[in-house]
A and B are shown apart, each in its own frame.
Chain A
Amino acid sequence: MMRVLVADDEAPARGKLQRWLSEQADVEVVAESEDGLSAAEAIERLKPDVVFLDIQMPGLSGLEVAAQLEQETAPLIVFVTAFDEHAIKAFELNAIDYLLKPYDKDRLLKTLSRIRARPADGSARAAVATARAQTQSHDRLLVPVGETLQLIDSATVEWLEASDNYVQVHTTARSYLLRRTLHDLLEQLGDRQFARIHKSAAVNIAAVKAFTPLFKGDYEVQLRNGKVLRLSRRYKDQLFGRMGK
């Protein structure tokens, strides 16, 4: 069974997809979302296999929603758009599914059969990566706050602490637990602002106050908030090189 989420801010547009998808024996529409944020929440909560994601939505656009997903675990994404030359060019380059409004039933069926035939070929990864490249996804981070999701400014993040498949995001005010890998999070945030300091931690370069050498080439990293972390030899050269040391 293919579990599908439909996200579009316009009721008739959602109705059309819902109707045609429901006619398919192997498709189940698990939820409909009216805006980007609730689409992201529904993806987190329901873990659908496929998301039909309208690009032009209020608050968080479809591209911004996709940019905030973890690449490894992201559902297959079919972007739906009325007109967005930029994004469409990027989709074509990366072989990502998209539907141009208005589309007919045949076109939708073609998309569905392509999804059915597709082994796990990494197109979900490509969709997330493309969406990240198309948006300012390194500036904003979607974090869980209780039952809902909230966007925070990535500049307020001081450091990131990984444990298994979770990352603890420490900001000036508080910390958030994200179900994502540190690797994926750093890929989204980009290496301009954040740097890995050892296997399970990364810092916001702007939050670093001082380095103190330890033995064997390791360093102690002191943050402006007083927190002390360890910089392992493995990541030292890369970090110092970037900081112009």
Chain B
Amino acid sequence: MAVTHLDLAADKQAAPRVSRPDIALYFLWAMFWLLMLAVGVQDYVRNGGTRIWQPLLWEGTSLAVATFWLVLQRRIDRRYAVYLDRPLVWIGHHAKWAPLVVLSFVPAVYGIRHGVYALVGDTYRHESWSYVLLYESIKLLIFYGLWMGLIFGFDAFARTQDQRQRLLALQKSLAEAQLAHLKAQLRPHFFFNALNTISALMQVDVPRADRLLSRLADLLRATLQWGDKEITSLREEIRMLELYAQIMQERFADRVTLSWNVDDAALGGAIPALLLQPLLENAFKHGVERSRDTVRIEVEARRNGEQLHIAIRNTGAILGADRQEGVGLRNCRERLSVLYGDAAKLQLTPLGDTVEASVTLPWQEHRA
């Protein structure tokens, strides 16, 4: 399951050829060279120059050759992506190209300039070749270092974004898998047991059997309509709980009383679908199915400022040190931490002969 999702994430990563950071990088590159051209022209004019094409040619040739190297760098960039977590290694891998870039730059740029001047029947005058080589190399190295730093920043940012996206996708798929698992867990045992109860009741108490049958149909319908909703409203969640509880109450009629204390203001809150189901199931399992006395189950929900607070309490079960956290509770905890991090919590507390499971979530209005 997890492997499939990882593959999907990898596909998404490979899809766009020019990524968003690349566009930003080229834009920055264009701005930079516009500035260089403007400065070059201004400088030339202030010094009394009149042939504007000259500074344009000087800067333009530098621009052309430098752009050639930038495009080349963007092409092979992925090869060095793995080193982004170790900046020094990444810089090292790029620095080894610097001599080639510098040495190819001067002949290429000056070659083009000489060629163009010759074409217009002029001679390109400049300082001695050794001075040019030294001067251009120093300038170029500074330029090279500056842009490598920028490119590193862009690539590292893109990589971080990418990793974040993948992590989110992974967490989401994990949450979905858990939900599917939860639903699978809920159905068979519960439904077949309920059917058996109906089969038992219809021999002796037809109205009760009838009532149970329509509750079961309601729950089945609600489950089928559920689809793949990860988040639902508290209203929906409570409705599912009520249906479930009504059926359980029919099965263990003699041994349980239920009370609901749900604040209307809380009903519109967003909550992970079927989050509370295992908690109510536990209340039945550890309270009703274990104790011979009548058990009280209370469900309480209210909005507490920027928090949604839900508590499910049952009597009849003492929380012993030996009671381990079941699969249901662990699932709830994991889903909460995947979806909300540290902002949500689930607590199991003994209060005398009562056990309280309480959930606190950050308040979010549910939008259908």
Do A102 and B188 touch (CB < 8 A)? no
Interface size class of B (residues with CB under 8 A): 20 to 34
Known contacts A59-B290, A101-B193: does B200 contact A12 (CB below 8 Å)?
Answer: yes
Q: Does A16 contact B (CB under 8 A)?
A: yes
Give A33-63 as 1s and 0s: 1 = Cβ < 8 Å from B's Cβ atoms. 0110000000000000000000011110000
Least CB distance from A205 to B in Å reads 26
Dominant secondary structure of chain A at its interface with chain B: loop
Give A15-43 as 1s and 0s: 1 = Cβ < 8 Å from B's Cβ atoms. 11001000000000000001100000000
Known contacts A9-B289, A10-B251, A10-B252: does B203 contact A82 (CB below 8 Å)?
Answer: no
What residues of chain A lie closer than 8 Å to B285, measured between beta carbons? 58
Question: Contact check: which of A19, A35, A59, A101 meets B196 at CB < 8 Å?
Answer: A101
Once the chains are docked, how many angstroms separate the CA of A33 from the CA of B192?
A: 21
Once the chains are docked, how many angstroms separate the CA of A56 from the CA of B281?
A: 14
Least CB distance from A214 to B in Å reads 43
Known contacts A10-B251, A82-B193: does B290 contact A19 (CB below 8 Å)?
Answer: no
Q: Does B101 contact A (CB under 8 A)?
A: no
Count, chain A residues at interface, CB 8 A: 21
Q: Does B275 contact A (CB under 8 A)?
A: no
Do B189 and A56 touch (CB < 8 A)? yes
Least CB distance from B54 to A in Å reads 85
Q: Does A104 contact B (CB under 8 A)?
A: yes
Least CB distance from A18 to B in Å reads 10
Once the chains are docked, how many angstroms separate the CA of A239 from the CA of B43?
A: 98
Least CB distance from A40 to B in Å reads 16
Once the chains are docked, how many angstroms separate the CA of A58 from the CA of B198?
A: 21
Do B201 and A12 touch (CB < 8 A)? yes
What residues of chain A lie closer than 8 Å to B253, measured between beta carbons? 11
What residues of chain A lie closer than 8 Å to B203, measured between beta carbons? 16, 19
Do A13 and B196 touch (CB < 8 A)? yes
Q: Does B164 contact A (CB under 8 A)?
A: no
Do B289 and A12 touch (CB < 8 A)? no
Give A102-131 as 1s and 0s: 1 = Cβ < 8 Å from B's Cβ atoms. 111000000000000000000000000000
What residues of chain A lie closer than 8 Å to B251, measured between beta carbons? 10, 12
Do A82 and B200 touch (CB < 8 A)? no
Query: Which of chain B's residues 179-205 have a Cβ closer than 8 Å to chain A?
Result: 188-189, 192-193, 195-201, 203-204
Do A11 and B292 touch (CB < 8 A)? no
Do A12 and B197 touch (CB < 8 A)? yes
Give B284-297 as 1s and 0s: 1 = Cβ < 8 Å from A's Cβ atoms. 01000110100000
What residues of chain B lie closer than 8 Å to A57, measured between beta carbons? 289
Q: Does A235 contact B (CB under 8 A)?
A: no
Do B199 and A82 touch (CB < 8 A)? no
Known contacts A12-B197, A58-B285: does B192 contact A101 (CB below 8 Å)?
Answer: yes
Do A15 and B200 touch (CB < 8 A)? yes
Do A102 and B290 touch (CB < 8 A)? no
Q: Does B77 contact A (CB under 8 A)?
A: no
Once the chains are docked, how many angstroms separate the CA of A104 from the CA of B197?
A: 12
Do A101 and B195 touch (CB < 8 A)? yes
What residues of chain A lie closer than 8 Å to B189, measured between beta carbons? 56, 82-83
Least CB distance from A78 to B in Å reads 15
Known contacts A10-B252, A11-B252, A16-B203: does B292 contact A34 (CB below 8 Å)?
Answer: yes
Residues of B within 8 A of A (CB): 188-189, 192-193, 195-201, 203-204, 251-254, 285, 289-290, 292
Complex A-B, nearest 6 residue pairs according to Cβ-Cβ distance, in ascending order: A16-B200, A82-B192, A101-B196, A83-B188, A12-B200, A102-B199
Can you list 15 residue pairs at the A/B interface with Cβ under 8 Å? A11-B254, A12-B197, A12-B251, A15-B200, A16-B203, A56-B193, A57-B289, A58-B285, A58-B289, A59-B290, A82-B193, A82-B196, A83-B189, A103-B199, A104-B199
Q: A34-B292, A58-B285 are in contact. List 9 more A-B contacts (CB 8 A).
A: A10-B197, A10-B251, A11-B252, A16-B199, A16-B200, A19-B204, A82-B192, A83-B192, A101-B199
